[in-house]
Amino acid sequence: DAGVTQSPTHLIKTRGQQVTLRCSPKSGHDTVSWYQQALGQGPQFIFQYYEEEERQRGNFPDRFSGHQFPNYSSELNVNALLLGDSALYLCASSPGGGYQPQHFGDGTRLSIL
Amino acid sequence: DAKTTQPPSMDCAEGRAANLPCNHSTISGNEYVYWYRQIHSQGPQYIIHGLKNNETNEMASLIITEDRKSSTLILPHATLRDTAVYYCIVRVYNTNAGKSTFGDGTTLTVKP
């Protein structure tokens, strides 16, 4: 049973560009969340998708947007990249709400030059 | 979501039990306690969770105090591979529960 998979594993972009990161949730999971983790810090919640809609959002600007597809996979888009967007971006999935734990992928390491 | 407080670092001898504390004094009645760990360059790995009863699985045990204001994660026989950052999180039971609020965690170093 495959866990949460993310692609690509590493990405290098320059300031001002845009980027799309992808996530496939664990089998049986329909809720996907995205987190940003700067070096040496804990993950910070960006937003969560359920039934193809954004349900919760953390303290991130509108440059960060997302999408969830009918097969529950998800994309994270970041526009007008800044140096400060360099981080590990983590995707987490869980079954439809309740107390079940989230399961995380190994992330996409995004570097902005 | 309630905030959690963890010591920044701890050491443990290989083969001994590792006891990692977490304070969550503002926890609400509908919030669960979850523990994750993160090994360098990997995503957080789920360990265990609980509401008010002690829990045990193949990885660890979770002890939650009666007033639910603190908890302890116990790794019964720590190995070198248990060296990681451990995060304690409290999260509301919710039909669309997606947000987990991470602090800076505890860096556990298991020494030979």
Encode pLDDT of B12-52 as tens digits: 999 999 999 999 999 988 889 999 999 987 999 999 999 99
Using pLDDT thresholds of 50, 70 and 90, give the confidence band for residue A99.
confident
Question: What does pLDDT average to over chain B?
Answer: 91
What pLDDT is attached to residue B79? 97
User: For residue A4, what is the nearest residue in chain B, using CA coordinates?
Assistant: B43
User: Which pLDDT value is given to residue A1?
Assistant: 64
If you search the block for the tokens 């953390």, which residue do you land on?
A58
Whole-number pLDDT of residue A42: 92
3-state secondary structure of A83: helix
Q: How far is B12 from chain A (nearest CA, A)?
A: 21
* Least Cα separation, residue B23 to chain A (angstroms): 17
Q: In Å, how far are A69, B36, B105 from B85, measured between CA atoms?
A: 33, 8, 6
Q: Average model confidence (pLDDT) for chain A?
A: 94
pLDDT over 90 at A83, yes or no = yes
Identify the DSSP state of B68. S
User: Could B49 and A104 be called an inter-chain contact, meaning their C-beta atoms sit closer than 8 Å?
Assistant: no
Q: Write out the E strands in chain B.
A: 9-13, 18-23, 31-38, 45-50, 55-56, 61-64, 70-75, 84-92, 106-111
Residue B2 has pLDDT above 70, yes or no: no
Whether chain A has a CB inside 8 Å of the CB on B42: the answer is: yes
Residue B24 is predicted with a pLDDT of 93
- Give the Cα-Cα-Cα angle B40, B74, B96 (nearest 5 degrees): 70
Q: What is the pLDDT of residues A36-61, one digit of tens each?
A: 999 989 999 999 999 999 988 999 99
pLDDT bucket at B61, cuts 50 / 70 / 90: very high
CA B103 distance to own-chain centroid: 11
Q: How many CA atoms lie within 13 A of B101 on its CB side?
A: 16
